[in-house]
Amino acid sequence: MRDSYRAAFKDQLKKSTLPQNVKVTISGAYPSQETAQRILETVVFFMRLYGTQLDLSGLDSIAIADDYHETLAKLDRGFKAPALVPSNDAFGTGYAMAVPVLRDGAVKTCIVLRSELGWALDDPDHEMHSRGMHILAHEAAHAHDNEVLRRTVPGFVTRSGNNSKDEFLLATAHTCWMEYIASRLSAQWSIRTYCGELEPRLCDMLSSAKEKAEDSIHGYRFHRNQKLAEGDIQNIFGKILIRSAYLVGHVHGLGKTVIDMAPHYCKLINEQTWFSPIFERYESNLREMHSTYGSWTSVDVFSPLVGTCEDLLSAGGMRYVTAQVGSARLERASES
C-alpha cells in the first residue's frame, strides 16, 4: 500500500475505535511472508480508518483467507446458529462477512474476508480497489450495528430462532434492518456505480416475483407440501425486501431519494400496484427506526417492519391465520 495513504490519514487514525489488540490472521498462498504481512497491515489500516467514523470497539477478530468457505464453516461463534454460507446468487458472490460471535458473554463481531479482497485493497491501481473499500466498509458497518444492538437490545443478535411464523417475520425484518443500516453507514465509501448495478437486478427480482409465487401455490395444489410452498414464498418476497434494503440504505446514506438514484426500479414499483404501498411503508419503517437508532429499548422497535413483511407475504398469496398458531394459508395471488 502506498505511503501517501497513511500520511494523509495519520491524525484521523488516532481517533479510531478499532481495538489496538484486535486479533488478525491471514492464511493462504502468498509469494513471501512480507507480502502476507503487508496485506494484513493494509486491511487493518482500512479498518482503523473506518473506525474513525464507526464504532468498531466490539470487533473481536479479522480473518483473511484463501479458503473463505472453510474459514466461515470452522468459525467458532460461541452460540448455536445456522451454518454460515457465502452468498452466491444473481446479486453476486460474497467477498466478506461480518459474523456476530459470543465472547465471554458479550456479543462481538468477527470479519472474514477473501484474500482476493486483501490483494485489491493493497493495490490502489487494482480494478477492485474502490469496490474493495466499499465492501470492507459495509462489513465494518455491520460490526458497528452489532455493537449498537448489544448496548440497546441485549441478547437480540444471538437469540436462538425457530421455524415459527413470528420468528421468520422478525428474522426477515432484522435482516432488512441490518443491510439497510450497513448500506447507509458505508455509503460515504461507496463506488459511483453502485445503484446502477443494483437496479436491474432488483427490477428482475420484482418483475418475476408474482409469477414465481403463483407457480409455487399452483404446485402446492398437487404436492400438498405446505412447508415447501411456504418456504418458497417466504424466500421470494423476503429477498425482495432484504435486497431492496441495500439500495434504500445506500440512497438514504447519500441524502438522496430512490427516484433520484434508481428511477427504473421506482417506475416498476409504481406499476406493481400490489407492491407500491408496501414499499412506501417499508421505506418509512426504516426511516423511523433510524430516527431513534441508538436509543432503542426493546425488540418492539421492529414491530412496524414485521407488519410490513407480513403484509407483503399476504399480497403475494400467503396469509397467516390465527385459528392455528403459526399456520399459514396459501392462496392464488389473484385471489388476495
pLDDT digit string, tens, across residues 209-223: 888 877 877 786 778
Kindly report the backbone phi and psi dihedral angles of residue 81, in degrees, each rounded to the nearest multiple of 5, phi listed first.
-155, 155
CB atoms near residue 293 (< 10 Å):
16
pLDDT of 268: 97
C-beta separation of 145 from 178 below 8 A: yes
> Is there a domain that residue 158 lies in?
no
* Percent above pLDDT 90 for the chain: 69
233: nearest Cα among 168, 321, 160, 161: 168
Task: Note the pLDDT tens digit of each residue in 111-138.
Answer: 999 999 999 999 999 999 999 999 999 9
Higher pLDDT, 213 or 106: 106
- For residue 329, pLDDT over 60 is answered with no
pLDDT of 336: 28
Contacts 24+ apart (CB under 8 A), 222-230: 226/328, 226/330, 229/318, 229/330, 230/318, 230/328, 230/330
When the pLDDT of each residue in the chain is averaged and rounded to a whole number, the result is 88
What span, in angstroms and rounded, lies between the C-alpha atoms of 65 and 97? 12
- For residue 243, pLDDT over 60 is answered with yes
pLDDT of 162: 60
Contacts 24+ apart (CB under 8 A), 286-290: 286/176, 286/177, 286/180, 286/245, 286/248, 286/249, 286/252, 287/252, 289/177, 290/180, 290/181, 290/184, 290/252
> Is there a domain that residue 159 lies in?
no
pLDDT of 76: 92
Domain boundary among 86, 118, 152: 152
What span, in angstroms and rounded, lies between the C-alpha atoms of 290 and 164? 27
The answer on 292 and 195 residing in a single domain is: yes
C-alpha cell at 21: 489488540
β-bridge mates for residue 321, sequence order: 327
> Is there a domain that residue 22 lies in?
yes
The answer on 56 and 142 residing in a single domain is: yes
C-beta separation of 282 from 206 below 8 A: no
The answer on 116 and 199 residing in a single domain is: no
The answer on 54 and 179 residing in a single domain is: no
> Is there a domain that residue 262 lies in?
yes
The answer on 311 and 218 residing in a single domain is: yes
- For residue 331, pLDDT over 50 is answered with no
> Is there a domain that residue 157 lies in?
no
pLDDT of 203: 97
pLDDT of 333: 34
C-alpha cell at 25: 490472521
Domain boundary among 152, 186, 206: 152
CB atoms near residue 21 (< 10 Å):
5
pLDDT of 154: 87
- Please compute the mean of the pLDDT values over residues 268-276 and round it to a whole number: 95
The answer on 169 and 76 residing in a single domain is: no
pLDDT of 165: 79
The answer on 174 and 94 residing in a single domain is: no
Strand 318-321 with 327-330, pairing: antiparallel
Domain hosting residue 189, numbered range: 165-335
The answer on 128 and 177 residing in a single domain is: no
Give me the DSSP letters along 144-192.
HHHHHHHHHSTTSTTPPP-SSHHHHHHHHHHHHHHHHHHHHHHGGG--T
Place of cell 392455528: 324
Domain boundary among 152, 187, 206: 152
What span, in angstroms and rounded, lies between the C-alpha atoms of 220 and 223? 5
pLDDT of 273: 92
* Percent above pLDDT 70 for the chain: 89
The answer on 148 and 53 residing in a single domain is: yes
- Please compute the mean of the pLDDT values over residues 159-164 and round it to a whole number: 65
> Is there a domain that residue 160 lies in?
no
Task: Note the pLDDT tens digit of each residue in 33-74.
Answer: 999 999 999 999 999 999 999 999 999 999 999 999 999 999
The answer on 259 and 122 residing in a single domain is: no
The answer on 233 and 148 residing in a single domain is: no
> Is there a domain that residue 9 lies in?
yes
- Please compute the mean of the pLDDT values over residues 225-237 and round it to a whole number: 79
pLDDT of 320: 63
Higher pLDDT, 331 or 105: 105
pLDDT of 168: 87
- Please compute the mean of the pLDDT values over residues 157-162 and round it to a whole number: 67
- For residue 326, pLDDT over 50 is answered with no
The answer on 243 and 143 residing in a single domain is: no
User: Number of structural domains, the chain?
Assistant: 2
pLDDT of 280: 97
pLDDT of 328: 57
